[in-house]
Chain A
Amino acid sequence: MPSPTADLPSPTRPHPVDLLRFNTCGSVDDGKSTLIGRLLYDSKNLMEDQIEALERSADITGGGQINLANLTDGLRAEREQGITIDVAYRYFATPRRKFIVADTPGHVQYTRNMVTGASTANLSVVLVDARQGVIEQTRRHTFIAAMLGIPHLVIAVNKMDLVDWDEERFLQIRDEVESFLPRLDVLKDVKFIPLSALHGDNVVRTSEHTPWYQGPNLLGHLETVHIASDWDLSALRFPVQWVNRPNNPTHKELHDFRGLSGQMAGGIVRTGQPVIVMPGGLQTKVKEIWTLDGQLDEAFCPQSVTLVLEDDLDVSRGDMIVGTDSLPGLSSELSARVCWMHQRPLQAGRKYYLKHGAQTVQCAVTHLESRINLDSFEPEPAPAELALNDIGDIRLRTGRSLIFDGYRSNRLTGSFILVEPGSNATVAAGMLAAPVSAFTPDFAEFTI
């Protein structure tokens, strides 16, 4: 294959360090920002000028005491009001891992921010104030983490110093959380850690106050939790993002190059493998897996590559290349759970743009099936509307059929957003129910 840049040095050397993304959530005074500040401070990820800036602002607002929360409360409005108004991202590293932290606020009205910060996370840290125990926000945040399919959950029981490091109190809270966990969507891995963010116990260093706790401290857990299996590698899904046609009139080989660029959304693709191009349903084979660094024999989720197919089929953005063994759904009638993110409530009959993978289609919300009561986790049937921060189940009809999986089996091909025409606001995050039946290509009947 021609490579006009073959003279440039390429292959990325293998790095042993991987990346863990997590978010913190809890209610207003649970100490989320303090916890992140503590993680950064104790793992020596804070710089002198950051500490200086902290001290400068402490003199003005904090009565002389350094406030670790000032590290993440970045905007002036937030510092003045002492709240976190949006998702803030922080970065730190240890020799074992790099970390991206989404600090998501705990106020009731900011559920949408938690969904935003948690949607890409491998792990969620839900903070519980040891004095207050499990409150509505704890249940709500745990529910959202489970709904989003976050593979790992940590219940951080904070402010243990204020309950005299009482083991009984810790166990009470654990029991209370465990009593509602079975009613949530699948949570694979839940860990409880007693800590004090303010004093640093069990955050980066193991506390001497908790001899009764045998587990890892928070950073130790973040460094070692197994995340290599968090992506779906079972069923090949390749949404075509951009058609790569050099159309170079002077370069003969480039003139005929027709590649399909995109990011693997599931599974593994290999050269020579038979694939189906959806929604057309035509079968072909993968001829090449092209990258700037040379051709690959195989590529896996979430790598970005360019596929060249054996046959010159009519393929465009929004189409999906899938394996022949495990086929997605293809339908214009969809069921989904949504988190509503806009002031203007959702009512049945409203029309939106729906963005799913690399395709945007028009859609109408045909039915509001239920609104989830986040105290009882019970669905309340047939609500009149879904308001800001509500979570509910809806049915939609799309102007073009969607190629999709259930969110439970693939977070990338099972998710969508709704965009309001006119304002262009992102009004909802949606998770699709599994397809009623898988797509059946026309040729299937001939191969039986």
Chain B
Amino acid sequence: MHSYHLDHLQFLETEAIHVMREVAAEFERPAILFSGGKDSICLLRLAEKAFRPSDIPMPLLNVDTGHHFPELNEFRDRRARQLGGKLIVRKVEEAIASGIAVPNPGEVSRNRLQIPTLLAAVEEFRFDCLIGGARRDEEKARAKERFFSFRDAFGQWDPKNQRPEIWNLYNARINPGEHMRAFPLSNWTEMDVWEYIKAEQLDVPSIYFSHQRRCVRRQGQWLPVTDLLPPKGNEPVQDLVVRVRTIGDIISTGMIESPANNYDDIIAEIAAARVTERGSRADDKASEAAMEDRKKAGYF
């Protein structure tokens, strides 16, 4: 006897597939934001579930900050090739060179500069909808975001003026120059993402698994030593067994000490974790409203 009842992963999956198909049906030029990170890996599998046996009817878009982990970009390119998808990469460095993105004097982080780079790509390709892997459990400002999140002609999010979202009826109407962000994983948690990756046996970049890396301790975090982030003076460098829990830029992503080298270990580690995923992202610690401010300006 069939139970005719979906478990939680099956429910989240069917909800996300429905959102993806709405995007494909309602927009003329949508794209999927694909970084190679764990959330966007799930997005691509969901796109396969939504659209196969057809080709995925939209290109993949990535904003390359120039500060990406090399393992991430390698994975991104490989996965896009496997899927037969069209991958569009726009670089912050080129946006700086052409004056689209202007760094403050001494600004090292590329975090803010991603925003004009992304919005320039939206204009260049006249994208009317970007599908992103953001989840509401990540952060307090995201907890208030809709599945279909409207952006005005400047790419801005107005949290006080969001469209009410009722049942599974998504209002996809926009005027020329405006665009939409769609978030099929809105209701997923970090644990759901890993359970799904495990259930679907999805490949992920190697840095999610335990490996050896030289790190320095800064502001309570282990940051990887690279050309972009050399040790200062006689700052002690430690050789640690680490992995990443969430991937940002290589200069701001805290490595966690971990022996986890398979899905089950990672799931067990998250179940026992005592800090949130974004606790290891320096970009979110700036202020309590850091994410809210970036989102209003057009961040994913």
- Name A410-440 residues within 8 Å CB distance of B: 411-412, 415-417, 419, 424-426, 429
Is B258 interfacial (CB 8 A cutoff)?
A: no
- Which single member of B55, B273, B292 contacts A246 (CB below 8 Å)? B55
The reply to whether B143 and A90 contact each other, CB–CB distance below 8 Å, is: yes
Interface stretch of the complex, out of A135-143, A170-178, A255-263: A255-263
* Cβ-closest chain A residue relative to B271: A93
CB distance from A293 to the nearest CB of B (A): 8
Q: Mark A293-314, 1 if CB is under 8 A from B, else 0.
A: 1000010101110000000000
Residue of B nearest to A112 (CB): B164
Chain B neighbourhood of A291, CB < 8 A: 49
Q: How many Å from the CB of B248 to the closest CB on chain A? A: 16
Measured between beta carbons, the chain A residues less than 8 angstroms from B164 are 112-113, 115-116, 341, 426, 429
Contact present for A76 and B48 (CB under 8 Å): no
Residues of B near A165 (CB, < 8 A) are none
Check if B169 sits within 8 Å of A49, measured CB to CB.
Answer: no
- By beta carbon, the residue of chain A nearest B284 is A49
The one of A18, A97, A115 that contacts B5, using a Cβ cutoff of 8 Å? A18
Known A-B contacts A9-B201, A86-B159, A358-B25; A254 and B53 likewise in contact (beta carbons under 8 Å): yes
* Residue A210, interface by CB 8 Å: no
Task: State which residues 40-56 of B face A: CB under 8 Å.
Answer: 48-55
| Cβ proximity bits B174-206 to A, threshold 8 Å, 1 near / 0 not | 110000000000110101100100011100000
A416 touches B169 (CB 8 A): yes
Contact of A424 among B137, B175, B187 (CB under 8 A): B175
Residues 1-32 of B at the A interface (beta carbon under 8 Å):
2-15, 17-18, 21-22, 24-25
**Residue interface mask A235-265, B partner, CB < 8 A = 1:** 0000001101111000000100101011100
B241 at the interface (CB under 8 A from A): no
Residues of A within 8 A of B144 (CB): 74-75, 86-89
Question: Which chain B residue shows the least CB distance to A297?
Answer: B2
Q: Are B8 and A245 in contact (CB under 8 A)?
A: no
Report whether A18 and B173 are in contact in the complex, using a CB–CB cutoff of 8 Å: no
Q: Given contacts A12-B10, A241-B18, is CB(A74)–CB(B141) below 8 Å?
A: yes
How many residue pairs link A and B with beta carbons under 8 A? The number is 199
CB distance from B210 to the nearest CB of A (A): 21
Q: How far is the CA of A77 from the CA of B199 in the complex (A)?
A: 40
Q: Are B6 and A303 in contact (CB under 8 A)?
A: yes
Complex interface: chain B residues within 8 A of A425 (CB): 163
* Cβ proximity bits B153-182 to A, threshold 8 Å, 1 near / 0 not: 000000110111111110101110000000
| Contact partners of A246 in chain B: CB under 8 A | 53-55
Residue of A nearest to B8 (CB): A19
Please give me the residue from chain A that is nearest to B190 by CB atom.
Answer: A91
Q: By the criterion CB–CB under 8 Å, are B14 and A302 in contact?
A: yes
Contacts of A74 in B (CB 8 A): 140-141, 143-144, 292
Cα separation A119 to B52 with both chains bound (whole Å) = 30
One of B59-67, B91-99, B123-131, B274-282 at the interface: B274-282
Judged by a CB distance under 8 angstroms, whether A152 is at the interface is no
- Say if the beta carbon of A317 comes within 8 Å of chain B: yes
Cβ-defined contact, B173 with A56, below 8 A:
no
Question: Which B49-107 residues have a C-beta within 8 angstroms of A?
Answer: 49-55
Given contacts A12-B13, A91-B137, A246-B54, contact A292 B49 (CB under 8 A): yes
List residues 175-220 of chain A with CB under 8 A from any CB of chain B: none
The answer to whether A228 and B3 have CB atoms under 8 Å apart is yes
CB distance from A334 to the nearest CB of B (A): 16
Residues of chain A contacted by B11 (CB below 8 angstroms)? 18-19, 302
Contacts of A90 in B (CB 8 A): 137, 143
Cβ–Cβ < 8 Å partners of B292 in chain A: 74-76
Please state if A263 and B18 are interface contacts (CB–CB under 8 Å): yes
Residues of chain B lying within 8 A (CB to CB) of residue A57: 288
Tell me the nearest residue of chain B to A246, going by C-beta.
B54
**Is the CB–CB distance between A415 and B288 below 8 Å?**
no
Q: Would you call A442 an interface residue if the criterion is a C-beta within 8 Å of the partner chain's C-beta atoms?
A: no
Contacts of A417 in B (CB 8 A): 166, 169, 171
A-B contact pairs, 12 of them (CB 8 A): A16-B7, A17-B7, A19-B7, A77-B159, A86-B159, A89-B144, A89-B186, A91-B189, A242-B25, A259-B53, A304-B49, A425-B163
* Chain A interfacial positions (CB closer than 8 Å to B): 2-5, 9-10, 12-19, 47-50, 53, 56-57, 72, 74-77, 79, 85-91, 93, 97-98, 100, 112-113, 115-116, 119-120, 228, 233, 241-242, 244-247, 254, 257, 259, 261-263, 268, 290-293, 298, 300, 302-304, 317, 341, 353, 355-358, 411-412, 415-417, 419, 424-426, 429
> Which B residues are within 8 Å of any A CB, using their own CB?
2-15, 17-18, 21-22, 24-25, 48-55, 136-137, 140-141, 143-144, 150, 159-160, 162-169, 171, 173-175, 186-187, 189, 191-192, 195, 199-201, 273-276, 279, 288-289, 292
Instruction: Kindly list 10 other residue pairs between chains A and B, CB separation below 8 angstroms, not including A89-B136, A415-B169, A417-B169.
Output: A12-B13, A97-B8, A115-B164, A241-B18, A244-B54, A263-B17, A291-B49, A293-B49, A356-B169, A424-B173
